[in-house]
Amino acid sequence: MNNSLYEYIDPITSPYEAFVVDTKFAELPVPTHWHYYVELLYILEGEVDVAINGRVLTAETGSVVLFPPKSVHGIDFANGCTKTKYDVIKFDPANLPTSKLDETDIRTILHGLDNTGASLLISPKDLSQWKMRSLFESIIKENQSRDYAYSLMISSDLLKILGYFVRIWKKEGLTPSGKGVHPSYELHFDMISEYIDSHYFEPLTVEKLAAMCNVSHATFSRNFQKRFGMSCKEYITSTRINIAENMLHFSNYDIAFIAQEVGFTDSSYFIRCYKKLKGITPKQVRKLSEDRKQIVS
């Protein structure tokens, strides 16, 4: 079983991905994962709960959701819902044009969304003045046809969608800018996040990770907090808990075994950490997952 949260997407062969998910043919939940792409959802039918870096938002029919680059996210049925259908668009923000004259540089904004409090879900009411549905349809159609200059057409529609988000963030007074981390640390932290994701089951210390970046413990910890909005220790625990959540949904392993597999030597401590982050115990998650499978079948 591959429990890694990281989802690799080839930016050369797949600069864009656009498709429709229908639970008549695809199962939920979508396991918790992260990638360097931006991901957008348009909910066509039903309701889903979307988890974004520990926050859970309920998206109803007609809502649009944005998952920022490197955000840990997953998708599940909302309480009482057993079927849904939604559009999915994934794209590499590096393909978006830079803004030299305008005050809004969308690539900088997208990479600076973490822990700003900016709205990542737009309700149908807030979307009523915009033709968001047609933009999603156009992007999916262009991605399927791959006609001449399709990437220009997709980029144009994506900028309109993102422009609507930016206007909402501006009204909220939360227009993000940079992360407050020196650019020289960005590659280090990309490497560290991937390393934690692939070595979560091992004993991990802040001292060891700081040494991998060739910086002091204090410098590493300070910049890690700025970049991820949490301490390195909290990030490691969060990664382990997210992987445990996937195992609770997609395996029959008992809770004590899962605790050991994700790097906890004490099952009781694992349960406390899980409830603190998810607001529910591992046993309750397993029961809800089993009950939902019985309803669907």
Q: What is the pLDDT of residues 118-146, one digit of tens each?
A: 899 999 999 888 889 999 999 999 999 99
Give the strands of the sheet with 30-33, arranged side by side: 30-33, 73-77, 48-52, 55-59
- Domains plus CATH for the chain? 16-172 (2.60.120.280), 183-296 (1.10.10.60)
Three-class SS of residue 48?
A: strand
Tell me which amino acid residue 233 is: K
Query: If you average pLDDT over residues 51-55, what whole number do you get?
Result: 87
Q: How far apart are CA 24 and CA 148, in angstroms?
A: 33
Pair 262, 251: CB distance under 8 Å: no
Model pTM score: 0.81
Q: Which of 8, 296, 261, 18 is nearest to 161 (CA)?
A: 18
Q: Please give the structure tokens belonging to residue 22.
A: 């229908």
Three-class SS of residue 40?
A: strand
Residue 237 scores a pLDDT above 70: yes
| Confidence at 296, pLDDT banded by 50, 70, 90 | low
Q: Give the Cβ contact number of residue 141 at 10 Å.
A: 14
Tell me which amino acid residue 291 is: D
Q: How far apart are CA 127 and CA 140, in angstroms?
A: 19
Residue range 241-267, pLDDT digits in tens: 999 999 998 899 999 999 999 999 999
* Integer angstrom CA distances of residue 5 from 37, 40, 110: 14, 18, 20
- Quick one: how far is CA 147 from the chain centroid? 30
Residue range 168-200, pLDDT digits in tens: 988 888 755 544 555 556 667 888 988 999 999
Which position has the higher pLDDT, 130 or 154? Answer: 154
Three-class SS of residue 122?
A: strand
Q: Which of 21, 134, 122 is nearest to 63 (CA)?
A: 122
Query: If you average pLDDT over residues 20-29, what whole number do you get?
Result: 94
Q: Please give the structure tokens belonging to residue 252.
A: 């029959």
No. of H helices and E strands in the chain? 11, 9
What pLDDT, on a 0 to 100 scale, did the predictor assign at position 153? Answer: 95
Residue range 263-276, pLDDT digits in tens: 999 999 999 999 99
Q: Please give the structure tokens belonging to residue 27.
A: 């199962």
Which position has the higher pLDDT, 94 or 27? Answer: 27
Q: Please give the structure tokens belonging to residue 199.
A: 């070595």
What pLDDT, on a 0 to 100 scale, did the predictor assign at position 202? Answer: 93
Pair 49, 75: CB distance under 8 Å: yes
* Integer angstrom CA distances of residue 177 from 97, 133, 166: 17, 28, 11
| Confidence at 1, pLDDT banded by 50, 70, 90 | very low
- 266: CB partners within 8 A, 6+ apart: 259
Q: How far apart are CA 136 and CA 263, in angstroms?
A: 41
Question: Across all residues in the chain, what is the average pLDDT?
Answer: 88
